[in-house]
């Protein structure tokens, strides 16, 4: 899976102190490969359609790179029998794969009538293996829903429809790798992963259902660097950038607890079969 992801990377990078972007998605996104195209959806809004068929998948990426940011995008996933397909939304650095950083959301398809699995992970300095998985509390194929990555020097958050589902704290002081030094670019793709995606690869893609299509719209990126003093990044700001310095309040902490209690289906920090000799150090540090 990692090597396939590496093929998506390009060598260009740019530096931005403060970047706020929102508008036509084609002004912010580059099509990469496969059948990716700009469309007008049923509501009349501009969207990008990524397609998977027997000829292959498709992908897109942000024109800009970011270091510390908030990224929002609306996604409508492949409906019906999506078994074997994976729709992704993630950020990744563009240097050496052995030392790369990545914040990962992968939507694992399933047989008709079965729920999607949202698979999340984070790599820092080439080290990953921090998987947590969730069932969503809605059907993500019936309408668009907003998926968000908030990444700053202190922690990384993943939100769904503005509800926090995962937090990853910066514990570099404890010797735990965290993505803090490399710029990252946003990517999205739709591809064939039926060797592992659905029930561990036991359920394969039904190509008679092709083409499989996922839709993306309303891309928004707000970026700050650690040395930026703009009021957009100020502590307590009512602007979304205020997330860069605020601790989670009681309401957000309760959201995390509710998601853990009701929607989380896998946590590497509780996988005793995988870690028979003790859990990774960050599992204790995140508490």
Q: Which residues are catalytic?
A: 102, 106
Question: What distance in Å separates the CA atoms of residue 198 and residue 112, rounded to the nearest whole number?
Answer: 12
DSSP per residue, 10-63: -S-----SEEEEES-HHHHEEE-SSSEEEEE-TTS-EEEEEEEBTTB-EEEEEE
**Cα separation of the two ends of the chain:** 29
DSSP per residue, 229-281: --GGG-TT-SSGGGGGTPPP-HHHHHHHHHHHHHTEEEEGGG-TTT-TT---H
Question: What distance in Å separates the CA atoms of residue 51 and residue 55, rounded to the nearest whole number?
Answer: 10
Helices (H) and strands (E) in the chain, counts: 4, 16
Question: What distance in Å separates the CA atoms of residue 91 and residue 93, rounded to the nearest whole number?
Answer: 7
Tokens of 146: 């907003």
CA 138, distance to chain mean position in Å, is: 18
- Three-state SS for 86? strand
Give the count of beta carbons closer than 10 Å to the beta carbon of residue 126: 16
């Amino acid at each position: 899976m990692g090597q396939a992801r590496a093929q998506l990377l390009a060598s260009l990078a740019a530096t931005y102190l403060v970047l706020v972007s929102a508008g036509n998605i084609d002004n912010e996104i580059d099509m990469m490969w496969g059948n990716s195209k700009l469309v007008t959806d049923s509501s009349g809004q501009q969207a990008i359609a990524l397609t998977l068929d027997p000829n292959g998948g498709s992908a897109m990426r942000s024109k800009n790179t970011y270091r510390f940011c908030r990224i929002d995008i609306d996604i409508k996933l492949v409906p019906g029998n999506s078994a074997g397909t994976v729709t992704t939304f993630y950020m990744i650095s563009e240097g050496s794969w052995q030392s790369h950083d990545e914040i990962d959301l992968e939507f694992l398809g399933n047989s008709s009538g079965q729920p999607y699995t949202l698979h999340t992970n984070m790599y820092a300095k080439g080290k990953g293996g921090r998987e947590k998985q969730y069932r969503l509390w809605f059907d993500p194929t019936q309408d668009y829903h907003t998926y968000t990555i908030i990444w700053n020097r202190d922690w990384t958050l993943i939100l769904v429809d503005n509800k926090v589902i995962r937090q990853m704290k910066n514990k570099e002081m404890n010797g735990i790798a965290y993505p803090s030094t490399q710029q990252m670019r946003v990517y999205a793709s739709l591809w064939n992963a039926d060797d592992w995606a659905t029930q561990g690869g036991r359920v394969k893609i039904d190509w008679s259902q092709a083409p499989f299509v996922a839709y993306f719209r309303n891309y928004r990126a707000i970026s700050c660097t650690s040395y930026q003093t703009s009021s957009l990044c100020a502590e307590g700001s009512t602007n979304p950038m205020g997330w860069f310095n605020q601790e989670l309040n009681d309401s957000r902490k309760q959201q995390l607890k509710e998601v853990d209690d009701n929607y989380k289906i896998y946590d590497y920090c509780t996988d005793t079969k995988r870690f028979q000799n003790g859990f990774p150090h960050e599992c204790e540090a995140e508490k």
